[in-house]
Amino acid sequence: MTTRIWFAILWTLVILVSCLVPAQSVPDSPAPSFDKLVHFALFFIFVPAWSGWTPTLRAIVWIAAAGLVYGLGTELLQAILPGGRQAEVLDVLANAGGVLVGTALVILVNNQMST
């Protein structure tokens, strides 16, 4: 496997661990909405990590769809698993926002590379 694939797998695991670590292990937020920024950033990187910057538009759409499902899934797991974490609609929206902006970035870079 290439380094790019390993990075994508590692990043996916970083997201999972970050979203499911027990609540008492999470440091207090320096700002009220800092948590949402972290969710956004984690999922923003997800799409470029898996795309490798050069897949087809169809592949990018599938990666984005997987990111949206993964973002929803991590929140559902927070609701189900013990550990004091709570699922939040705003976290799902921050995850989705990160996926969508990351997708737009990948499409923009791919368009620039092909011209």
What confidence tens digit (pLDDT) does each residue in 7-65 have? 999 999 999 999 998 867 777 777 778 889 999 999 999 999 999 866 789 999 999 99
Residue among 7, 15, 1, 2 at smallest CA distance from 94: 15
How far is residue 106's CA from residue 71's CA, in Å, rounded to a whole number?
18
Domain presence at residue 27: no
Domain presence at residue 49: yes
Number of domains in the chain: 1
The pLDDT of residue 53: 65
Q: Report the amino acid identity of residue 22.
A: P
How far is residue 25's CA from residue 76's CA, in Å, rounded to a whole number?
19
Domain presence at residue 80: yes
How far is residue 113's CA from residue 95's CA, in Å, rounded to a whole number?
27
How far is residue 47's CA from residue 66's CA, in Å, rounded to a whole number?
9
What pTM does this model have?
0.90
* CB-CB contact of 29 with 35 (8 Å): yes
Average pLDDT of the chain to the nearest whole number = 90
Domain presence at residue 103: yes
Domain presence at residue 11: yes
Parent domain of 82 = 3-16+34-113
Phi–psi pair at 53, nearest 5 degrees: 75, -5
